[in-house]
Amino acid sequence: MSAPEPIASPETPGADEPGKMSFFDHLTELRSRIIWSLIPAGVGLGVALYFTDRIMLFLQQPLSKLKSPPVFLTPTEYFWTYMKVAMITGLFIAMPVILWNVWAFVAPGLHKHERRYAVPFVVVGSILFMLGGAFALLLVIPFAVQFLLNFGMEKGAQPMISIAAYIDFITKFTLAFGVVFELPVVITLLSMLGIVTPQFLSKNRKYAILINFIIAAILTPTPDIVNQTLMAGPLCILYELGIISARIFGRKKPKAALAEDSTK
């Protein structure tokens, strides 16, 4: 009789493999995480309603400097715009919980020792999202509004800006910058999942710089090179931070694979 096979212990390599889930299990988990992200977003909305008045005044400051106050064209326009600002603010408030649910969704694909980085992922991801939004609100959008309005006024046109269109302009770019500033976190996650490697990212740095400038040209609301560089510069820095983070936290290649790469 052959000897019984030993039971795998937590120390054996097989016990540390990422969890496996079926396609329908992934869908169920995704639905659960979306629900648990919407609940804190709703709570954030309730909190945001207490100071949305001050946020609306802050967002209208670039127009007040140009003596061009916004108007609303329908009885409900200002109300729904007010609620939209409150919802976006609630999203920012709930971002730590939302990122926690993102981590919980991808965690089954990670090794056991990689799952301990949940708190750094949530904290750093939340900070970067806030920095992206602040970067857009404090630097990019004020310059963009002044440039665009002055351009039209110099051509002899008189601005009459709808509050809904103006807030939509602001929130679109604020959210876009917040998401783009998550680049180091996304790169680190992809590296931890084994999808990309620091070597691959370093090798393709020149293409990444080109893509960053293309993204900056799309996201920046003005055509001038100054604002585009203001966007592309941080993106390139964030990409480099992502490479450094991937080297530290990314999934390491087996020694045999490293030896094989070194012989090529």
| Residue-wise pLDDT tens digits, 128-159 | 999 988 988 888 888 888 888 888 888 878 88
Closest C-alpha to 143, from 199, 65, 80, 203 = 65
pLDDT at 158: 81
Out of 144-153, 186-195, 223-232, pick the least confident: 223-232
Instruction: Outline where 5-113 has alpha helix (H).
Output: 23-48, 52-59, 61-65, 77-93, 95-106
CB count in 10 Å sphere of residue 218: 11
d(CA 187, CA 184): 5
Q: Is the pTM of this model over 0.85?
A: no
d(CA 139, CA 152): 21
d(CA 104, CA 93): 19
The yes-or-no verdict on residue 82 having pLDDT over 90 is yes
**Backbone phi, psi, residue 233, to 5°:** -60, -55
d(CA 102, CA 191): 16
pLDDT at 119: 78
The yes-or-no verdict on residue 264 having pLDDT over 60 is no
Is 192 exposed, middle or buried (CB count within 10 Å of its CB: 0-12, 13-18, 19+)? Answer: buried
pLDDT at 256: 45
**% of residues, the chain, pLDDT over 90:** 9
The stretch 174-192 carries a mean pLDDT of: 86
d(CA 209, CA 219): 15
pLDDT band at 220 (very low <50, low <70, confident <90, very high): confident
The yes-or-no verdict on residue 243 having pLDDT over 70 is yes
For the residues of 216-241, what is the DSSP string, one character each? HHHH-SS--HHHHHHHHHHHHHHHHH
